[in-house]
Amino acid sequence: MLQFHPSLLLALFAVIGGVSKAHGDSIEASKATKNIRVSAVKLSDKTPEVRLQAARTLRELVKGIESETELKLILSPLVNAMLNDQSAKVRENARFALRDALSKVEDNAALVPVAESLLGGLKHKDVTIRAHCAHDLSNGVVGKIDDAKALQRMLGRLTVATLHAESMEAADF
């Protein structure tokens, strides 16, 4: 008969439990990733209610996402919703989800297109969108980019926007 020392059995159970927990965590992570991707796609749905629910879902999901890879997947849809959606509530939820996502992203390749889109948003006809773009640019996005050439390309557009602003208040851009 095969006999095991009690501490070996405990170690074996611990390993099995750890593998099981890791597998469970992996399943939960893949569900979260799927929810993120589905919600990002729904931001471009034709139905305003669907877009609003997607923006709200992303706003909540972003808080728990630690993977920069997952966060980078949703930056473009969030920027697009923030700048272009017809619903103010969708734009607002997308903006706050974007802000939370940007606070966790450090990759220049992901940040530069977002900053360039926000620069374009400084010309938006809606004063609220212009104000949000100015605020988000000045509070972190540009400061996180360490690509001198990209910053130099943006400098001209930012200078023009600043010169055309009626004041230095974000809403006047």
* Residues 52 and 87 reside in one and the same domain: yes
* Residues 59 and 38 reside in one and the same domain: yes
* Residues 133 and 87 reside in one and the same domain: no
For 95, other C-beta atoms within 10 Å of its C-beta total: 23
The residue among 111, 161, 164 whose CA lies nearest residue 134 is 161
Task: With cut-offs at 50, 70 and 90, classify the pLDDT of residue 8.
Answer: low
Look at the block and give the residue holding tokens 């949000």.
132
pLDDT of residue 168: 59
* Residues 120 and 98 reside in one and the same domain: no
Spatial neighbors of 4 by CB under 8 A, at least 6 apart, are 12
Residue 56 has pLDDT above 60, yes or no: yes
- Asked if residue 41 belongs to a domain, the reply is yes
Among the candidates 45, 71, 105, a domain finishes at 105
**Where residue 58 sits, what CATH number does that domain have?**
1.25.10
Among the candidates 86, 105, 124, a domain finishes at 105
* Residues 64 and 127 reside in one and the same domain: no
The residue among 140, 54, 67, 42 whose CA lies nearest residue 93 is 54
- Asked if residue 12 belongs to a domain, the reply is no
Query: What CA–CA distance (Å, rounded) separates 73 from 85?
Result: 19
Q: What are the residue ranges of helices labelled H in the chain?
A: 6-42, 48-64, 68-84, 88-102, 108-121, 127-136, 142-144, 148-164
Amino acid at residue number 31: K
- Asked if residue 16 belongs to a domain, the reply is no
DSSP structural state of residue 46 = S
For 144, other C-beta atoms within 10 Å of its C-beta total: 15
Q: What is the pLDDT of residues 81-136, one digit of tens each?
A: 999 999 999 999 999 999 999 999 999 999 999 999 999 998 888 988 988 888 88
Total structural domains within the chain: 2
* Residues 131 and 151 reside in one and the same domain: yes
pTM of the predicted structure, to 2 decimals? 0.74
- Asked if residue 7 belongs to a domain, the reply is no
Is 86:48 a contact under the CB 8 Å cutoff? Answer: yes
Among the candidates 75, 105, 135, a domain finishes at 105
- Asked if residue 17 belongs to a domain, the reply is no
Q: Which residues form the domain of 60?
A: 34-105
- Asked if residue 168 belongs to a domain, the reply is yes
